[in-house]
Amino acid sequence: MNPDHKKSVIVGIFVAIALAILIFMIISLGGQKKIFSSTFGLKAVFENVGGLQKGNNVWYSGVKVGTVKDIHFLGGGQIEIDLNIEEKVREFIKKDSEASIGSDGLIGNKIIVISGGSNDAPPVEDGDRLKIKAPIDTDALMAKLPENVENLTKIIADLSIIIDDLAGGKGTVGMLLTDTVFRDEVKLTFSEMKATVAGARASFNNLNKTLSALNQEGTLFNKLITDQELYPKLDSTLSNFNVASERIANLSLNLETSSQRLTESDNFMGMMLNDSEFAATIKQMTENLESTSEKLDTNMVAIRHNFLFRRYFKRLEKGKIK
């Protein structure tokens, strides 16, 4: 074979291999960028895109569904993002879905994340503008990082002081850890509490047994709650008892009223018990009656011995004898 011809063949083979590699790379990149897929456009307006660039990916529910087609300013601090989305996922992205800016990993490229959307909402159409969620400002988080680290250092220092106090036996927890006497007293207290709980449990068990025994067939308690004839009788007895109690209460009230009347002077018994003048008058009348009675007895004796009435009284005595 002619050397020049051989060299041309080798060059041709290398060119063919290079073209094949180039075509493969174009196809691969085209597949990643969705160049050869049927797509439709969506828009989202942000006030801060956080470093988002053209060609970055668009994700929906953790799946890559498109790329960022273009970024341009609208004015007033707003930035509009044009998105190329695969046609096959149109039915899953709803008109009330939201777009936000995220990261591909912890420190990866910025991406657009589409999420949400209710099942009742209609699918998006070509050119629709998505609602947005404010992106997380990583720069603000990084700016607060030194302050957070300082706060964490203070917390660790405070924890160190607390641990030293515990080791030194300060405070109740420290005493529990180091003071054996205090620990034994606490243990004794818990033992007494445990015994008290056990006693209460035993009391409840005994009460339960007592109630069970009372509820056995044939007992008075069981009859009271099961005998349909005994209960009306008991109810009638209680009603009679209530009536008797009311009568006793009325009698007590009457006695109290009568007692109060005896302390007053507007009635005979009250005057006798409380009016000293009336009592003196009654006493004088009694004494007068006694004196009159004595005089009458004397007169009757004198009449019996009088010669005018002597025969009359003798006849009376003879009549009594007969």
Q: For the segment 56-99, what is each residue's pLDDT rounded down to a tens digit?
A: 999 998 889 999 999 999 888 889 999 999 999 888 899 999 99
- Three-state SS for 180? helix
Taking the CA of residue 293 as centre, how many other CA atoms within 13 Å lie in the half-sphere pointing to its CB?
6
- φ, ψ for residue 117 (rounded to 5)? 105, 125
User: 310-321 vs 276-305: helix axis angle to the nearest 10?
Assistant: 90
* Burial environment of residue 112 by CB neighbours within 10 A (0 to 12, 13 to 18, 19 or more): buried
pLDDT tens, residue by residue, 199-227? 888 888 888 887 777 667 767 666 666 66
**Which tokens go with 10?**
């080798």
Note the pTM of the prediction, 2 decimals: 0.37
pLDDT the model gives residue 184:
73
Q: Quick one: which of 67, 43, 45 has its CA closest to 55?
A: 67
Distances (CA, A) of 82 to 36, 42, 99, 110, 181: 18, 6, 12, 15, 76
Q: What would the mean pLDDT of 129-143 be, rounded to a whole number?
A: 72
Helix axes 171-178, 138-167, angle to 10 degrees: 50
Q: How far apart are CA 169 and CA 162, in angstroms?
A: 11
Q: How far is CA 64 from the centre of its chain?
A: 47
